[in-house]
Amino acid sequence: MDKTTIIEEINRYAQENLVHTFDPGKTYIPPAAPQLEASDVKTLSEVLLQFWYTEYKYCRKFEKELERVTGKPHVSLVNSGSSASLVAITAAVRIFDPGHTKKYILTCATGFPTTVSPIIQNGYIPIYVDMNDDLTPNLFSIASAIDFYDSALVGAVFAHTLGFPFDEKKIRELLGPDRFLVSDCCDALGATTSNLPVGSFSDFSTLSFFPSHHIMAAEGGAVMSNTDEHASLVSSISNWGRSCFCRPGESNTCGKRFTWEDRGDLPEGWDHKYIFSEVGYNLKMTEFQGALGYSQIQRLDKFVDARKENYQYLYGELNRSEYHPHIHLIEPSSSFSPFGFPILVTSDVFTAGDLIAWLEGHKVGTRRLFAGNLVRQPGFMNQRYAIVGDLYGSDMLMNQMFWISVSPSLNRSMLNYMIYMIDQFFISRGLV
């Protein structure tokens, strides 16, 4: 059998088997589901038969597409969104605080843990600010922290949580030119801030391609940067810390493989391939991930539109005056690119836990707002940290918020079932 026939057979198999049926009350509706199509599987089978599995031409093509959609001049692929955070923050502190004379990095108490872990892993102390109920970090707390910590503050990392963008331009202005801003855009591909793609005002921004995100690469992530110097630092940190910038399979692209000058105390003639200019890791993406990401990004606009449409539909159906004393919803905006549909329980007759248990019991998947308030998490509560204010908002979101799906894989009957089950909850409690 020749290669084309094998690939076409795989494509046919995927078309026949990637079929999802929905049986209300029996089929679980996950809070976030990937949108895998036969064309994705076909692209993966091409890689399989290309017999080269470390980063190669699909990774290059995926990088180019990401440059286009993020508007950033440099994109480096890595193996997860968490690795992207690690690389971005590591690069940022090496540039903005080369002697490690500063102490603090500003972040938000509510969010995903690996946005914050790299602060601790790099030996800095997180200063936690509060989150507002529209899921943006509190600007007033940010301004007062910058004032108070002043020259001990090296920069900030904030996430566009659940695809609801914060005002990057404003935070950039508050930080000034001598402190870095890292934007975690893992939940927010397709969202905008000041009419530009999220990440536009940051020194480094990050993306995740974990299956539940806007596009998936099985696992995967990317770090976006603005300058050649920043991009080569990012690339070195995720490529073992090496000075050599040859891609896998390449050799001597610098033309100075055995005459590279910046080699520390290494002997003359030392191979540039093994000169390590940074303390680094191996966090590279594979060609399979690059190919899947490239295949998925062709449908990004469709995915983002479907997410917005699903959000709008849920909002339209659930934003009812009789529900207002009990739940609070975030109004759709033109700038968001929703990752989920958050519901804040404001009732004094039931809790978020009650509604979550009801929905999960009826096959509607839910998720809490990631780690809730990080200072309550066992892995973080005993680390050194500082807080601004009392983190009342973060505790409130931890206790009262959860989210359900707006995945492009949802169809109208699934959305209607989700709405119906929320209605049934209110009816069962005698609240409508």
Ligand X SMILES: Cc1ncc(COP(=O)(O)O)c(C=O)c1O
Confirm or reject binding of residue 187 to ligand X (CB under 6 A).
yes
User: How many other CB atoms sit within 10 Å of the CB of residue 154?
Assistant: 25
Closer Cβ to ligand X, 155 or 422, answer by number:
155
Contact pick of 34, 221, 342, 408 for ligand X (by CB under 6 A):
221
Minimum distance between the CB of residue 214 and ligand X, rounded to whole angstroms? Answer: 11
81 lines the binding site for ligand X (CB under 6 A): yes
Q: How far is the CB of 184 from ligand X (least distance, A)?
A: 5
Number of residues that bind ligand X (CB under 6 A): 14
Catalytic residue flag (residue 213): yes
Lay out the site mask for ligand X across 291-330 (x = CB under 6 A, - = otherwise): ----------------------------------------
Q: Which is nearer to ligand X, 85 or 225 (CB)?
A: 85
- Residue 200 near ligand X by CB under 6 A: no
Region of 94-102, 138-146, 181-189, 398-406 interacting with ligand X (CB under 6 A)? 181-189
| 168 near ligand X (CB under 6 A) | no
| Closer by beta carbon to ligand X, 145 or else 369 | 369
CB of 84 to ligand X, least distance (A): 7
| Residue with smaller CB distance to ligand X, 65 or 187 | 187
Sheet of strand 104-108: strand arrangement = 74-78, 221-225, 204-208, 180-184, 153-159, 104-108, 125-129, 386-387
Q: Give the residues across from 108 on adjacent strands.
A: 129
Nearest Cα residue to 149 out of 118, 174, 113: 174
341 forms beta bridges with 404
164 binds ligand X (CB under 6 A): no
Which C-beta is closer to ligand X: that of 221 or that of 332?
221
Among 7, 186, 218, 398, binds ligand X (CB under 6 A): 186
Give the H or E element holding residue 217.
Answer: none
Tell the smallest beta-carbon distance from residue 10 to ligand X (Å).
27
Question: Partners of 345 in the beta sheet?
Answer: 327
Query: Judged by CB under 6 A, which stretch of 8-16, 42-50, 180-188, 263-271 contacts ligand X?
Result: 180-188
Tally the residues of the chain. 432
- Residue 183 found at the interface with ligand X (CB under 6 A): no
Q: Which of 172, 285, 278, 173 is nearest to 230 (CA)?
A: 278
220 touches 208 (CB < 8 A): yes
> Which residues 97-156 are close enough to bind ligand X by CB under 6 A?
112, 114-115
Q: How far is the CB of 79 from ligand X (least distance, A)?
A: 8
Q: Is position 184 an interface residue for ligand X (rule: CB under 6 A)? A: yes
Q: How many CA atoms lie within 13 A of 176 on its CB side?
A: 10
Token pair 């004379």 is found at 101
Closest-approach residue to ligand X (CB): 81
CB closer to ligand X, 83 vs 225: 83
> CB of 208: closest distance to ligand X in angstroms?
3
Tell me how far apart the alpha carbons of residues 290 and 47 are, in angstroms, rounded to a whole number: 10
Distance, CA of 261 to CA of 39 (rounded, Å)? 47
Q: Is residue 208 involved in binding ligand X (CB under 6 A)?
A: yes
CA distance 404 to 418: 9
Instruction: Give DSSP secondary structure letters for 59-86.
Output: HHHHHHHHHHHH--SEEEEES-HHHHHH
Under rule CB under 6 A, residue 159 binds ligand X: yes
The number of angstroms, rounded, from the C-alpha of 333 to the middle of its chain's C-alpha atoms is: 20
Residue 82 near ligand X by CB under 6 A:
yes
Helix (H, G, I), strand (E, B) or coil at 12: helix
Instruction: Determine which one of 74, 213, 230, 272 is catalytic.
Output: 213
Of 80 and 335, the one with the shorter C-beta distance to ligand X is 80
80 binds ligand X (CB under 6 A): yes
Q: Is 210 in the site for ligand X (CB under 6 A)?
A: yes
Q: Which residue has the tokens 């020749």?
A: 2
- Tell me how far apart the alpha carbons of residues 33 and 22 are, in angstroms, rounded to a whole number: 14
CB of 56 to ligand X, least distance (A): 21
Name the one residue in this structure whose structure tokens are 């509060």: 130
Burial annotation 351-380 (CB, 10 A radius, 16+ → b, else e):
ebeebbebbeebbbbbbbbbbbbbbeeeeb
The residues binding ligand X (CB under 6 A) are: 80-82, 85, 112, 114-115, 159, 184, 186-187, 208, 210, 221
Q: Active-site residues: which are they?
A: 213
